[in-house]
Amino acid sequence: MDTNAFSTAPPTSNPSAIRPGDSRYDSLLRGSNHRFSGSPEEIHVITTAEQAVSVVGEAARSGATVAVRGGGHGFEDFTANQGVRVLLDMSEMDHVDYDPVRDAFAVEAGSTLGHLYRALFKGWGVTVPGGECPEVGVGGHLIGGGYGPLSRRYGAVVDFLYGVEVVVVDEDRNARLVVATREPDDPHHDLWWAHTGGGGGNFGVVTRFWLRSPEAGRTGPREILPPAPRMWRSRAEIWSWDSLDEETFRRVLSNFGSWFETHSSPGSPSTGITGFLHASPRHGHGVVVGAMADDDVPQVTELLDDLFDSVRAGVAPSPMRTESVRPWLEFSAYPGWGDPGGPDTRRIKIKAAYMRRGFSDEQISTAYRYLTTDEPHESQLILIGYGGEVNAVDPPRTATAQRDSVLKAAYMSVWGVAEDDDHNIRHLREFYREVYADTGGVPGLDGPTDGSYINYPDSDLADPAWNRSGLPWHDLYYKENYPRLQAVKKRYDPGDFFHHALSIRLPQEPGA
């Protein structure tokens, strides 16, 4: 094995395959998005890197298609479709510890974000700027360039990725374990780079990550990641749909976008806070503008006041306000916070955009019309504060190419029954297409948008019926970084053993 990985000895599960007819099979079959459910011949619960090498090697020799699931929060069918014959369930491989050899935190790939935050906080009082849904798996989140409420202050989570341990498959279909780090002289440096935003299911099976701040020297565990907040302050202002006409809706969205356009430069005091705008369908709550921050950020209440005063400027209806200050772990790591839907409403479709500027008046009118139509639907619009220290990094330094946006947009529909699939997906598709009508139905790369976010994957971007921009899907996700990702793919997965609908293509492959 090509590795000197940090070694731990967690309990191991029975490595035998779980097949149809086994009492465990149905419970392990699908992830969080109930739209998709595959029928693999085997499910393997992985608890060691050695198990992963063995299972992947056997599958590669037999020609069986492999998929990997951690937290299970897949927005497309990459791990749950009829072509997958072997499913690796990594969720029990969740050990988190400090590795003194690398002076970095070793995080097994099956950990959830909530588990990671708890372990880092309880053990050392530190954290990483990851997402705010504690049940999301670390594996997919990190590889796809994850972000969260602390990213404006500290950067994208991939900026803290020091190393990865990956099971790769060579041209002879032999599986081996490789450790790749950000050290410039590491012979596998490009494999590390590909995992800083290249997306999951492309190069191999990640079994372990190492995390360390980009500027940290060899200083010990309490200094190599950002300090975790002591208390977390959240504020929200809510306008019901009854209080919103189109002009008021326009003003709120326009003001929100303008604030982030002017308060998202790296080093700005305003990057100490982040915010979001959530507009529900007509039968929902209305429009929520929220903001949050480490309560020890200097002048935190004044910064929050500035954001909310700006959003309310020229808005006649008074919103309802809520505010709370609570311990960090109550916000970051308690289950149930941030997950879309509930146990019976987990059919999800999502679309996304990076935004250099807020919406135009025409786009806001489109959003208002689609959200308030009398036609039943579940479409919702979410804008999330971005930029700040994320944008201090040059695009080629990591595979996360979008480094000058100030907002992310998510268009999401969540519903409960299969009979509503076609209707809700069509409504969301048409909503998104019309918002970006001037750029072929997708967020273009020049001007106010900068493509899309691979952790909110959308197979429609590869469908000319919905993407009429002339831009290939991979440019919308990876921009100029795509050829380098293809070169890494050719070196570490020359037979395209790891693939899905939006996976990195080998050079010269159709659709590449």
Sign of CA dihedral 457, 336, 126, 277: positive
**508 pLDDT tier (thresholds 50, 70, 90):** confident
pLDDT of residue 5: 44
What's the mean pLDDT in 305-316? 98
φ, ψ at 345 (rounded to 5°): -130, 75
Query: What is the Cα–Cα distance from 140 to 369, expressed in whole angstroms?
Result: 34
Query: What is the Cα–Cα distance from 241 to 285, expressed in whole angstroms?
Result: 7
Side chain identity, residue 101: V
Domains of the chain plus CATH, in order, are 26-211 (3.30.465.10), 231-477 (3.40.462.20)
**8 pLDDT higher than 60:** no
Residues contacting residue 89 through CB under 8 Å, at least 6 positions apart? 28, 43, 44, 45, 46, 69, 110
**248 pLDDT higher than 90:** yes
Question: pLDDT (tens digit, 9 = 90+) per residue, 58-102?
Answer: 999 999 999 999 988 989 999 999 999 999 999 999 999 999 999
* CA nearest to 198, candidates 404, 497, 446, 502: 502
**371 pLDDT higher than 90:** yes
pLDDT of residue 237: 98
- The structure tokens listed for 190 are 């490009």
Query: What is the Cα–Cα distance from 148 to 160, expressed in whole angstroms?
Result: 13
User: Taking phi first (over 0 means left), then psi (-120 to 50 degrees means alpha), and beta for anything else, what does residue 201 get?
Assistant: left
Q: What is the pTM of this model?
A: 0.94
Query: What is the Cα–Cα distance from 47 to 67, expressed in whole angstroms?
Result: 16
pLDDT of residue 13: 52
Question: pLDDT (tens digit, 9 = 90+) per residue, 274-300?
Answer: 999 999 999 999 999 999 999 999 999
Residues contacting residue 475 through CB under 8 Å, at least 6 positions apart? 445, 451, 482
Query: What is the Cα–Cα distance from 352 to 53, expressed in whole angstroms?
Result: 34
Question: pLDDT (tens digit, 9 = 90+) per residue, 29-64?
Answer: 888 899 999 999 999 999 999 999 999 999 999 999
Query: What is the Cα–Cα distance from 380 to 370, expressed in whole angstroms?
Result: 9
- The structure tokens listed for 205 are 């099976």
Sheet arrangement for strand 379-385: 320-327, 231-239, 287-294, 273-279, 379-385, 407-415, 347-355
* Cα distance from N-terminal residue to C-terminal residue, the chain: 31
Question: pLDDT (tens digit, 9 = 90+) per residue, 381-439?
Answer: 999 999 999 999 999 999 999 999 999 999 999 999 999 999 999 999 999 999 999 99
Average pLDDT score over the chain: 94
pLDDT of residue 216: 79
